[in-house]
Amino acid sequence: MTVDELTQDALFEQGVARLAELLGPSWRIDRRPDGKETHRSGSDIIMTVQGEGESSYGQLLVDVKLTGVSPRMVEEVLLTKLDLLQQLNHYTTLLVMAPWLSRQTQKLLRRHDISYLDLMGNVSLRIPRPAVVIYTEGATRAPQALAKEPGRTTLAGPKAGRLVRLLTDVYPPYRAGELAQASGLSLGYVSRLLDALEDQLLIRRDGRVITFVDWPNLLRSRAERETLLRKGSYVGLLAPNGIPSVVERIRRLPPSGLDKIAVTGTHAAHTVAPLSAGGQLMVYVSPLLDEDDLGDELGLLPVDENADVLLLQARDRSVFERTETVEGIPHVALSQVALDCLAGPGRMPAEGEAVIEYMKGHQDLWRISGIHDLLTTPQL
């Protein structure tokens, strides 16, 4: 059964099976005696957990969320339920089960001592009596079926990436109409995505005005929906004379060529967060520039594996917006560097986090003071 075919009962049964596997054979998990008692909402199930030889047992109120859990739901629904539960029975643990939980939702649940379990391997369970503590980390990206979410605007896709970049790069306040004008996106799309971001507590609004953007978690949430090196999205090449020679050749490109490329990934991250040396040189290439001609001009050779230079196809023009020239070479903006690293393979996510930490401490160096400054500046 795939994620998009799940029923509430199937989700619960799979969750219980996962919990039993984590606890081991010496533990017993029982549903309420008749196996059918639920809360009025129809999503709550009472379970007991008891270890072999234990005289006491732990009681769980399991809230099964088939459509997932947003941070806003945690604040507005689950915290109210937790408060009521603690008033009625201090020893009952609230456990949320869902197909997948975002990192931001997991963090918020842990902060409020709400246990959770998803089918992607993310588990946090604390039972005070008998003492049980379980914590596991699983998938950091949503399953493909959930990433699509038909009928709902999500952070997946190039249009969402463009708005994420804008929200990150520009200090609020601003309105949906101003964001639509600055991004070139339709007002309807911008409004729908802003509603989704507010549900994730990634933005805050006062009426129709966005007054706060949680840009670090916005970048992380966007990266959860993306994979930097998708199949067919890049060309791998070999630098026979080494990466430094390629960098020098890029520096000597004519202005017409430099305008159509931008370095990203590890090499761009190193300028503000040098975690380690080496790594592949990743360069975005505009559709207006022929990749084969560029490869020849940079002295690169095509290879099927072990490439040390990757020419990336830009899915959207926004990757070239607000680029910066570093030692004569165009680099994507820091927000794009962070996104690409977070969505990249190997050690790149750690580099993305290091870039975010730098960005937190130097916001006045890279954020635009207001949306009107951007609207009066010519865009690509």
Domains of the chain: 3-136 (3.40.1350.10), 144-226 (1.10.10.10), 234-366 (no CATH)
What pLDDT score was predicted for residue 2? 52
Interval 234-269: pLDDT, tens: 999 999 999 999 999 999 999 888 889 999 999 999
Q: What six digits make up the tokens of 372?
A: 């009107």
Q: Are 312 and 284 in contact (CB under 8 A)?
A: yes
Coil, strand, or helix at residue 139? coil
**Cα separation, 47 vs 50, whole angstroms:** 10
User: What confidence score (pLDDT) does residue 35 get?
Assistant: 47
Please say if the pLDDT value at position 377 is more than 70: no
> What is the per-residue pLDDT for 183?
95
Query: What is the reported pLDDT for 149?
Result: 53
pLDDT in tens, 87-141: 887 788 999 999 989 888 999 999 999 999 999 999 999 988 888 899 999 877 6
pLDDT value for 7: 87
Give tens-digit pLDDT for 316-360. 999 999 999 999 999 999 999 999 999 999 999 999 999 999 999
Q: What are the pLDDT digits (tens) for 140-152?
A: 766 655 555 555 6
Alpha-helix runs per DSSP H in the chain: 8-23, 71-73, 79-88, 103-111, 144-148, 158-169, 176-183, 187-199, 215-224, 243-251, 255-258, 265-269, 291-297, 334-342, 348-361, 363-366, 371-375
Among candidates 257, 239, 254, which has minimal Cα distance to 309? 239
Pairing assessment for the beta strands 324-326 and 329-331 based on DSSP bridges:
antiparallel
Mean pLDDT of the chain: 88
Q: What does pTM read for this prediction? A: 0.75
pLDDT over 90, % of the chain: 64
Q: Give the pLDDT score at 66.
A: 84
pLDDT-based confidence at residue 5 (cuts at 50, 70, 90): low
pLDDT class of 17 with cuts at 50, 70, 90: very high
The Cβ of residue 167 has, within 10 Å, a number of other Cβ atoms equal to 25
Cα pseudo-dihedral 195, 98, 61, 36, rounded to 10: 110
pLDDT on residue 131: 84
Residues 128 and 59: their CA atoms lie apart, in Å, by: 10
CA triplet 92, 97, 100: central angle to 5 degrees?
150
